[in-house]
Amino acid sequence: MSDAFRPHPLIRGAHAQTALPALLRATPHVPWQRETLETPDGDFIVVAHHGPDDGPVALLLHGLGGGLDSTYLCATARRLAALGWHCIGIQQRGAGPEPNRLARSYNHGESGDIAWLLQQLTQRAPERFHAAVGWSLGGNVLLKTLGELGPRAPLDAAMAVSVPFALAPCVEHLTRGPARAYQAYLLRGLKAGLRRKHGPVALPPGADLATALAARDFRTFDNAYTAPCNGYADAEDYYARASCGQYLADIRVPTRIVHALDDPMMVPTIVPDADAIPAPVSLEVTARGGHVGFVGRNDAGLPSMWLEATIPAWLEAQRHGSDAPDAETATETA
């Protein structure tokens, strides 16, 4: 158990840690320079650039329902750009306001898109330091990609936050108690995307749009839509093949994973035993922090976004070949 993160004493609960980062402040403005990349299968993915053109490169992957306007992604991009990094926000296939062309869409297992994007974006400046950061779903798919690529992964460092190491237990957890509120919120966003996308985009055989739009839980939604649109036999096949925990042992890129045991969207039993994870993967499990939350306290006693300080600090340490800074140096005033 890591004590690197200490929650603000008035914001210790898992739900407060999860919800308040989005409520404490407005999303920081980032003047993204957007670029559309045509994929080999005739679709497109939007990426966006911010920061010095000649700096080290940080690829940023949002979570489920997120995008280039996600608060955690924008805040991290601003911090990294101020340190001289060139940030590339990846709006995964079908995640933006404009529907993508094919039924295929981003999901926890869509490592093919991420592997292709890593190759495309790192080849532009192969002499520069390249890192990637993923939150939640973005972290899951990043870790899965790194495990599948092994020593061929074109990155120098990676970091993942609040990842569902095993999807099936998390999906079951989201059907009970207060966790149902998170499920309902995420499903509303996914359904809004489906309404924008279909019917301009035809559904593949086996997909049932009406059932997906009426779904009250992820398993029903994934059986009706995610699985048939993305090459899975059913929801259980999707959860089994997409969960990142089984790929960790094959990662060869220096990788840090930060996860809170009180994450209200997951269950503690999904977290792998840190002793069973070989180098170069570092698993940092904290007692508190919620889901992509980690609200700490600065020297003035005000809430501070610990993640948005520790992510740049750790990436800087990796770039310079030094030890990562301790928690006392990774602070930020909210």
Two tokens, residue 163: 């990842």
Q: Are 259 and 161 in contact (CB under 8 A)?
A: yes
Annotated active-site residue in 43, 111, 291, 304: 291
> What is the pLDDT at residue 324?
52
Q: Break the chain into its structural domains and give their ranges.
A: 1-165+244-334, 167-242
- Give the Cα-Cα-Cα angle 181, 187, 189 (nearest 5 degrees): 110
Query: How do the pLDDT tens digits run along the chain, 334 residues long?
Result: 788 899 999 999 999 999 998 887 889 999 999 999 999 999 999 999 999 999 999 999 999 999 999 999 999 999 999 999 999 999 999 998 999 999 999 999 999 999 999 999 999 999 999 999 999 999 999 999 999 999 999 999 999 999 999 999 999 999 999 999 999 999 999 999 999 999 778 899 999 999 999 999 999 999 999 999 999 999 999 999 999 999 999 999 999 999 999 999 999 999 998 787 889 999 999 999 999 999 999 999 999 999 999 999 999 999 999 765 544 444 443 3
Question: What's the confidence (pLDDT) of residue 159?
Answer: 98
Examine residue 280 and say whether the peptide bond preceding it is cis (omega within 30 degrees of 0).
yes
Whether the Cβ atoms of residue 244 and residue 143 lie closer than 8 Å to each other? yes
Structure tokens at 102: 């094919």
How many C-beta atoms lie closer than 10 Å to residue 106's C-beta? 24
DSSP 94: T
* From 105, 136, 162, 243, active-site residue: 136
State the Rg of the chain over Cα.
19
Instruction: Quote helix, strand, coil % in the chain, to nearest 5.
Output: 40, 15, 45
- Which residues have a Cβ under 8 Å from the Cβ of 54 and sit 6 or more positions away? 86, 128
**CATH ID of 1-165+244-334, from 2.30.33.40, 3.30.2130.30, 3.40.50.1820, 3.40.50.2300:** 3.40.50.1820
Q: What are phi and psi of 313, to 5 degrees?
A: -60, -45
Q: What single-letter DSSP state applies at residue 177?
A: T
Give the C-alpha separation, 101 to 104, whole Å. Answer: 8
Residue that the structure tokens 């070989």 belong to: 278
β-pairing verdict for 86-91 and 44-50: antiparallel
Are residues 15 and 64 in contact, defined by beta-carbon separation less than 8 angstroms? no
Indicate if 136 belongs to the active site.
Answer: yes
Q: Cα 114 vs. chain centroid, distance in angstroms?
A: 12
The CA distance from 49 to 257, in Å, is: 24
Enumerate the H helices of 167-293 as residue ranges.
167-173, 179-197, 209-214, 218-221, 227-229, 235-242
**What is the model's pLDDT at position 229?**
97
The question of whether 50 is a catalytic residue gets the answer: no
How far apart (Å, rounded) are the C-alpha atoms in residues 123 and 31?
Answer: 24
The residue to which tokens 């999860």 are assigned: 18
Are 182 and 174 in contact by the 8 Å Cβ rule? The answer is yes
The token pair that represents 264 in the structure block: 């209200």
Residue 70 annotated in active site = no
